[in-house]
Amino acid sequence: MSSIVTAAKIHKLIEDGELYIKPLLDKDQVTEVGVDFRLGGNFLVSVQGRDPLINASLNDEFGKRTSKHFFQETRRQLGETFILHPSQTVLATSLEYVRLPDDYLLVLCMRSSYSRLGLTMSTIAQPGYCGCLSIELTNYNNNPINLSIGSRIFQGLFYQADTKTRYFEKQRKYVCNVRPEPSAVTNDPDLVILNNLWNTSNKPDSTDTP
C-alpha cells in the first residue's frame, strides 16, 4: 500500500539523484512530509478574448478550438510581485524544475497560509515527470492578492507507486516545460471519438432537404 514519503526518504532520493529538484534555495523546503515549492516568475493570465468561449471540445458549433487566446503571458523576476485579482485564474509554474523518480507520484496543494487567503489549486505530477510544476491558481477572495515571486506558496506530497512506469513511453503533451503552457485538452484522443458521435447524430439527413 502507498504511503506518504517523509523527509529522510526525500533527502535520500535527492542525494541519490533519483529525484531532481533545483534550485532548492533552502534545505528546509523539504518538510516532514513533503517539499515546499516556490512561485516561479512566468504566468499565463486569463483575459477576455474575442472568441465567445474556451472550447474544450472538438465541436466547433459554438466557437473555435482554442484556449490560448484567453491567456496572456507575463514574466516577473525573483522578489517582484504579481497581483491576482478576484475570480481570476492564472497558470503559473514552480520556481523549481523537477524530475520525478519513475515510481513516485507528486500531489500538489496550497500551503495553508495561502489557502486562508482564498487561493486554491490542485494538481498532480505523474511518476517520471520532467519540468517546472504547472499550477493553476484562482483567487476566491473578494480582494486582489499580491504574491511574491519566490515565495513558498504550495507543497508537494510524494506517494510511492507499486511499480515503476515510463513517463515518455507514451507521447506526452507537456515535456520539460519551464514556463506555463496553455491547456492542450483538445489533443485528447477521446475527444475525436466524442466529436464523431456528435457529427453522426447531427449530420444533415438528405431527407431533411426540401
91 counts as binding other proteins under rule CB under 8 A: no
Give 159 or 167: the residue with its C-beta nearer to other proteins. Answer: 167
73 counts as binding other proteins under rule CB under 8 A: yes
Q: Could you tell me if 126 and 108 are in contact, meaning their C-beta atoms sit under 8 angstroms apart?
A: no
Tell me the sheet residues that pair with 178.
none
Subset of residues 30 to 59 that bind other proteins, contact rule: CB under 8 A:
none
For other proteins, which residue of 23, 86, 122, 187 counts as binding (CB under 8 A)? Answer: 23
* The three cell numbers locating residue 130: 520532467
- Choose one: 69-77, 118-126, 138-146, 154-162; the region binding other proteins (CB under 8 A): 69-77
| Bond into 23 cis (ω within 30) | yes
Whole-Å CA distances, 148 to 39, 114, 122, 129, 195: 8, 12, 20, 26, 43
* Residue of 15, 32, 80, 136 marked catalytic: 136
* Nearest distance from C-beta of residue 175 to other proteins, angstroms: 6
Amino acid at 70: F
b/e string for 87-117 if b means 16 or more Cβ within 10 A? Answer: eebbbbbbbbbbbbbebbbbebbbbeebeeb
190 counts as binding other proteins under rule CB under 8 A: no
* Nearest distance from C-beta of residue 90 to other proteins, angstroms: 13
CA 20 from chain center: how many Å? 18
Residue 73 catalytic?
Answer: no
Give 26 or 60: the residue with its C-beta nearer to other proteins. Answer: 26
Measured CA to CA, the distance from residue 15 to residue 9 in angstroms comes to 10
Neighbour-count burial of 201, counting CB atoms closer than 10 A to its CB (0-12 exposed, 13-18 middle, 19+ buried): exposed
161 counts as binding other proteins under rule CB under 8 A: no
- Choose one: 46-54, 62-70, 162-170, 185-193; the region binding other proteins (CB under 8 A): 162-170
27 counts as binding other proteins under rule CB under 8 A: no
Enumerate the active-site residues: 136
For other proteins, the binding residues (CB under 8 A) are 20, 22-23, 25, 72-80, 95, 97, 99, 130-132, 150, 166, 168-171, 175-179
